[in-house]
Amino acid sequence: MKRDPLLTGGASMEQYLDEHRIAVVIPSYKVTEHILSVIDRICNLVWRIYVVDDACPLASGNFVEAHCKDPRVTVVRHAQNRGVGGAVMTGYRAAIADGATIIVKVDGDGQMDPELLPEFVLPIISGEADYTKGNRFYDLANIGRMPPVRIMGNAALSLMAKLSTGYWDIFDPTNGYTAIHADVARRLPFDRISERYFFETDLLFRLGTYRAVVVDIPMDAVYGDEVSNLKVSKIIGEFMMKHIRNFGKRIFYSYFLRDLSLASIELVVGVLALLFSILFGGYHWMLSTRQEVGTPVGTIMIAALTFLTGLQLILAFFGFDIANIPKRPIHRHFPVMQRLKSKREVSNV
């Protein structure tokens, strides 16, 4: 078994990371004041940098080409604005086509420290994760610098994301500082992933359908003079509807289409018991009200017991769901699967 050189002392972190082709994707939209400083702070361990000009009205792609001399930088342009998700997926495609191993996404507005990049990459290289993302809520001392509306909005969005993605152990789902193994990224359904602000959360949902391992990376919240285009108060309603849609898909995929378990039975029986108790109890309560008589004790007991039974079964289902978080990184198996596929193709020739 090959041991991690960082644990055995056989190589420095720089040597360890230099063995992999690490690409950075920077969506560029109205960030000309900060993007050059972001690029300058990206360490030499990075192989290539893709700046995606998302039809920026400030022509940020031209700005980078004119003022940035870093040979690693490639500018990719959109003819029409596709949102942060569309820009990231364009960067993913370019990095995958060029042969990247790990793809890191960093915003160009200066809110993400490029010096943290090794922290995001190492869990993937060491085989502990398929995808890593930032979490600004680890250090309570730094949360005070975050606007209160963002704290409350992120808490609400995080709860909805846990339900819709199945990743109960992560927080701050809209955090855009991410890294992904290229073998996992190339299998994503790019044409079905949301291209706007729901991108990061929808990507988590897609990763959950593959049972990819996701790990949170602690990071500080940084707020300077940059202006964020994301307004939590405006998007929380839209996000809620999309979370409900993804939650339904996840439950169907995980517990009825791909697998059937005791949790599947608990969910079905629990929901049916709750519905029966509500309909049965509501009907008899209305009937008693119209007749101006008391509801029989037996009727009340039936409604109460079925309600409690249904509630208990649903809680048991969620207990199973919380414990069912993916734990085995999937990118380790893809090279083996690819070799087997190649052998089958050769044998069929």
CATH number of 5-255: 3.90.550.10
Mean pLDDT, range 166-187, rounded to an integer? 93
What are the pLDDT digits (tens) for 276-298?
Answer: 999 999 998 888 888 878 878 88
Joined together, the tokens standing for residue 338 give 């690819």
How many CB atoms are closer than 10 A to CB 82? 19
Angle between helices 297-323 and 262-291 (to 10 degrees): 150
| Structure confidence at residue 49 as a pLDDT band (50, 70, 90) | very high
Question: Is the predicted pLDDT of residue 252 greater than 70, yes or no?
Answer: yes
What are the pLDDT digits (tens) for 307-347?
Answer: 999 999 999 999 999 999 999 999 877 664 454 444 444 34
279 Cβ neighbours under 8 A, 6+ residues apart: none
Mean pLDDT, range 14-34, rounded to an integer? 84
Higher pLDDT, 251 or 149: 251
Higher pLDDT, 270 or 197: 270
CB-based burial of residue 212 (10 Å sphere; 0-12 exposed, 13-18 middle, 19+ buried)? buried
Q: Please state the length of the chain.
A: 349
Q: Dmax over Cα atoms in the chain, in whole Å?
A: 85
pLDDT at 138: 82
pLDDT at 294: 81
Q: What is the mean pLDDT of the chain?
A: 86
Helix (H, G, I), strand (E, B) or coil at 215: strand
Contact of 216 with 139, CB cutoff 8 Å? no
Contact of 236 with 191, CB cutoff 8 Å? no
| Structure confidence at residue 153 as a pLDDT band (50, 70, 90) | confident
Question: Is the predicted pLDDT of residue 3 greater than 70, yes or no?
Answer: no
Question: Is the predicted pLDDT of residue 182 greater than 70, yes or no?
Answer: yes
